């Protein structure tokens, strides 16, 4: 099993052709996606170029705003007489959707990938291998992921984060458990 923190942010897919970032889209309203390419270009942890032999690939991940950046953003909004954002997830979602990329850039969003797809399908037989490949390509893959030998080890990881989630620099919804074998 692979245990990953379920980050509380906005889901976004980034597409690359010949190793060059081409497009970023969100789920939008669930039926119609939203193109956020220009704003995504300003996310420092989203590589604009990667070294890969794959002609085209898609990287799915989460756009998040860490606690420190969230507090700073709310202080700035308060000083400007604007309403505070309710939580980091709403702030991240609003930040990626604004019409001005310079505003997005100023908000210090992060992008944490969790899937690597080629032709709409997982490229590797092992999810763990895909995460490690994303890291090698220069993506900011969450370092708190764990490869677990069995259910007991997986449950131990879940219990660990249940007690420590408040110590993380970003919000999580819990732990996602995935079977490492993509075929299974």
Give the CA-trace dihedral at 72, 77, 78, 83, to 10 degrees. -120
Asked if 21 and 14 touch (Cβ cutoff 8 Å), the reply is: yes
**Which residue carries 């997830």 as its tokens?**
89
Using CA atoms, how far apart are residues 9 and 159, in angstroms rounded to an integer?
Answer: 22
- Of the residues 6, 51, 136, 178, only one is catalytic, namely 6
Tokens for 23?
A: 């497009």
Q: Is 140 among the residues known to form the active site?
A: no
* Nearest Cα to Cα of residue 4 among 69, 61, 64: 61
Nearest to 4 by CA among 128, 159, 175: 175
Catalytic residues: 6
């Amino acid at each position: 099993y692979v245990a990953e923190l379920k980050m509380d942010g906005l889901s976004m897919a980034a597409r690359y052709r010949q190793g060059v970032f081409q497009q970023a889209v969100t789920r939008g309203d669930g039926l119609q996606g939203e193109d956020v390419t220009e704003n995504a270009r300003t996310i420092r942890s989203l590589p604009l170029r990667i070294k890969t032999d794959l002609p085209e690939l898609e990287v799915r991940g989460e756009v998040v705003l860490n606690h420190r950046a969230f507090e700073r953003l709310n202080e700035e909004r308060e000083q400007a007489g604007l309403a505070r954002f309710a939580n980091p997830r709403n702030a991240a979602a609003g930040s990626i959707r604004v019409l001005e990329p310079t505003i997005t850039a100023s908000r210090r969003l992060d992008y944490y990938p969790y899937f690597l797809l080629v032709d709409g399908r997982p490229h590797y037989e092992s999810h763990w291998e895909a995460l490690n490949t994303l890291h090698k390509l220069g993506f900011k893959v969450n370092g708190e992921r764990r490869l677990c030998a069995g259910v007991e080890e997986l449950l131990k990881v879940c219990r660990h984060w249940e007690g420590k989630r408040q110590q993380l620099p970003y919000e999580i919804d819990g732990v996602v458990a995935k079977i490492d074998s993509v075929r299974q």
